[in-house]
Amino acid sequence: MNLFVDTICQLTRDALHRLDSERVWATSEIQGLIEQPPDADMGDFALPCFSFSKKLQRSPKQIAEELQNLLVQEDPQEQAFDAQKRLPFSRIQAFGPYLNFFLHAEILARELLPSIFNNPFSKGLISLGRGKDRSEKNRQKVMIEFSQPNTHKGFHVGHLRNAALGDSLCRIHRFNGYEVVGANYFGDVGTHIAKCLWYYLNHCKDSPPEELRGEWLGELYTQSVHLLETLEGEEAQKAQAEISSLLRKMEEKDPELSKVWDETRQWSMDDFEEIYRWLDIRFDHYFYESDVDEEGRQMVLQGEMDGTFILSEGAIGIDLEEENLGFFMLLKSDGNTLYSTKDLALARRKFDQFSIDRSVYVVGAEQTLHFKQVFATLKRLGYAQAEHCYHLPYALVMLPSGKMSSRAGNVILFSEMRKKMREFILQGQLAEQSLEWGTTEVEETAHRIALAAIKYGMLSQDPNKPIVFSMEDWLVSEGDTGTYLVYAYVRIRSIGRQVALEVSDQIDFALLEHPNEKLLMRRMLDFERIVWKSGEQFKPSLLARYLYELCRDFSKAYGTCSVKHAESESLQAARLLLFHCVAEVLKTGLGLLGITPPERM
RNA sequence: GCGCCCGUAGCUCAACUGGAUAGAGCAACUGACUUCUAAUCAGUAGGUUACACGUUCAAGUCGUGUCGGGCGCGCCA
């Protein structure tokens, strides 16, 4: 709630009461109805009157008009701003079935700008129109599990979507007042590793490279799959037996195999650590499949003894027909664990060891059924926490040719993308700067621009729509891109360097009367509400879109409302504060997407 | 065969969860750089929201059906 929405609610509640004294409308009810007109010419806030129609026995159009008359009548001075009463509207007018409110630009400026200037968002002190009170959820502790890469496989651009999404959700939830545990879950055991090691030990003639050894293992995995496909008859059976035996040894922590496993696994972990550092993504806790597989097996065996699970064709599983979820496999017939086996133990640990209220899994949409089955199984086992598990699905990153697959080897590796982007930025966008700036700043700036482009690209689209990846598109830096957003930020910072004034909130707020300036302020009023919604709906795309629109509004104002060339110094000071606030909102918002803008570019 | 997700401008996507004239960006065309960074801005053009019924004051949004695409449906993760 903010002053403006607050006042609208109170005014209309009182006015409605006078139209019909029987029905008492709560301000919260009215608040839920308030929306924004499609066009700034039509006002800043709108109250649709459809829902009053039934009770009042009149058309919404008529109600809007009556409300307008009541509100304007009540205060004849109101059409002109009344400084005494501080009514924050310059106009209240019915447009068909809507009652529209025009904010008084000066009051908007006076309410908004000092609030942003004095209370950094990081402290969460300001409230500019949050849709919902957060105190209720204040202390909730939520675990967000994301990224979960497999060791012995290359990290490709598909993994980037998950990482960006999970990281952003952690940041947004923290901003919204939740206590967040960001968790990673490494796939460091399983068939794919057995296949990789089988090839590494028996067929690989090369020695590992100096760098990116984890990625190299991924290549071996792909080659292993290819080789296995060419084998036939006895050879194929022999290979299968060898792989199965490797897998068993791995799960039994066989000392000899463990040496190789440990070493190669570390190669991948080293790669990941470097990638996360570059991506500016941190985790609060790490889980490993190798750490929960035995516990999972015990849970399944126990469940089988209890009769919750059943033996079927040599394997163990659970019949979930009642929940309409079919049969769910929990342990292979050779006794080895499955993904599902480990997920049971993992879920239990999350609740037992972290006393979380909610457990979120950021995992691809193709596993929706799997998680329904996991949660249903946990419930059957008597874990009430299953109710608080939530699978957040997202659609895949596809190639124009189709699905990306490490198995098939048709992936765009992250390292490859990073390299191309760096070269592209250094040779194109930063070519001139490279001549003047130190190498460190050039590299760091290129890094930040690349990161903005990648993360914005991954986050700006609704999570459940697939992204078709083509390298060319991702090098574009015009229009609706991450580059556009950080460029806007840099231009604001540049203003500060061009003007001799210090930013201050001791300004004449009445001077900010240009429509483009008002547009910007109206936009900033929505910031916290949008962040709240992005978190609750698990959609950073809402925030991304908002920031893009904020930057568009800024670019518009930038062209029409120059600071440097303003007519007076007081106008300079006013605009400087305005743009400074835009930069603050933008920086905060980008931070929630995991993006740090450069100060110049 | 069954289940989930999706279908909006030539292309990539929005549309505040049922509200006002469906909006942006690419691509195309026209303008604006001796003026705070033109990685920008202003403008023109582009639509039967896949299709058909239905629900109501109101449907891109909800329901049913059809078509088209993606992903799942016991020894991968």
pLDDT, mean of residues A300-319 = 96
- Does CATH place domain A142-292+344-403 in 3.40.50.620? yes
Q: Which helix (H) or strand (E) holds A331?
A: strand A327-331
**CATH for A3-103, options being 3.30.1360.70, 3.90.1640.10, 3.40.50.720, 3.40.718.10:** 3.30.1360.70
Q: Which nucleotide is nearest to A430 (CA to C1')?
A: B39
- For B57, which residue's CA is nearest its C1'? A50
Mean pLDDT of A379-402: 90
Residue A179 CA, chain-centre distance (Å), reads: 16
Quickly tell me which residue has 């603050």 as its tokens. Answer: A584
pLDDT at res. A376: 96
Kindly state the percentage of chain A with pLDDT values over 70: 94
Chain B: positions less than 7 Å from a protein CB are: 3-6, 12-17, 19-21, 23-27, 35-42, 57-58, 70-77
- Beta pairing class for A327-331 and A89-95: unpaired
Confidence tier at A98 by pLDDT (50, 70, 90): very high
Look up tokens 């006794």; give the residue: A335
User: Straight-line distance from CA A324 to C1' B54, in Å?
Assistant: 29
d(CA A125, CA A121): 7
The first and second tokens of residue A175, run together, are 């901003």
Find which of A23-37, A135-149, A396-410, A484-498 is predicted with most confidence, using mean pLDDT.
Answer: A484-498
A352-377: pLDDT as tens digits: 999 999 999 999 999 999 999 999 99
What pLDDT, on a 0 to 100 scale, did the predictor assign at position A407? 80
Amino acid at A71: L
Give the closest nucleotide to A484 (alpha carbon vs C1').
B39
Give A112's DSSP letter.
H
Over residues A157-184, mean pLDDT = 95
- Through-space separation of residue A51 CA and nucleotide B53 C1' in angstroms: 28
- The span from the CA of A471 to the CA of A463, in Å, is 20
For chain A, give every domain's residue range: 3-103, 142-292+344-403, 424-592
- What are the CA-CA distances from residue A600 to residues A312, A485, A597 (Å)? 64, 13, 9
Structure confidence by residue, pLDDT tens digits, A416-450:
999 999 999 998 889 988 889 999 999 999 999 99
* Per-residue confidence band for A156, with pLDDT thresholds at 50, 70 and 90: very high
Q: Specify the DSSP class assigned to residue A600.
A: -
At A72, the pLDDT band (50, 70, 90 cuts) reads confident
Determine the nucleotide nearest to A363 by Cα–C1' distance: B77
Distance A452 CA to B70 C1' (A): 28
Give strand letter and number of the nucleotide nearest A334 (CA to C1'). Answer: B75
The amino acid at residue A564 is: K
pLDDT for A403 equals 81
Tokens of A164: 């960006």
Name the closest nucleotide to A310, judged by C1' and CA.
B74
Q: Which residue has the higher pLDDT, A410 or A176?
A: A176
Q: What is the reported pLDDT for A73?
A: 65
Note the pLDDT of residue A468: 87
Write the pLDDT tens digit of every residue in A242-298: 998 898 898 888 999 999 999 999 999 999 999 999 999 999 999 999 999 999 999
DSSP 3-state of A319: strand
Angstrom distance (rounded) from CA A103 to CA A593? 30
What is the phi/psi pair of residue A92, to 5°?
A: -130, 125
A305-338 per-residue burial string, b: 16 or more CB within 10 A, e: under 16: eeeebeeeeebbbbebeebebeebbbbbeeebbb
How many angstroms separate the CA atoms of A258 and A588, rounded? Answer: 45
Range list of β-strands (E), A374-495:
389-394, 397-399, 402-403, 467-468
What would the two tokens of residue A197 be? 């090691």
pLDDT tops 90 at residue A77: no
Distance A39 CA to B36 C1' (A): 29
Whether pLDDT at A186 is above 90: yes
Report CA(A290)–C1'(B40) in Å, whole number: 52
Secondary-structure class of domain A424-592 per CATH: mainly alpha
Mean pLDDT, residues A115-141 taken together: 58
Q: Report pLDDT for A470.
A: 87
CA distances from A36 to A5, A30, A79, A83 (A): 11, 14, 21, 25
How far apart CA A351 and CA A388 sit, in angstroms, is 10
Contact A68, A93 (CB under 8 A): yes
pLDDT tens track for A504-544: 999 999 999 999 999 999 999 999 999 999 999 999 999 99
DSSP, collapsed to helix, strand or coil, labels residue A88 as coil
In whole angstroms, B32 C1' to A127 CA is: 39
| pLDDT value for A120 | 65
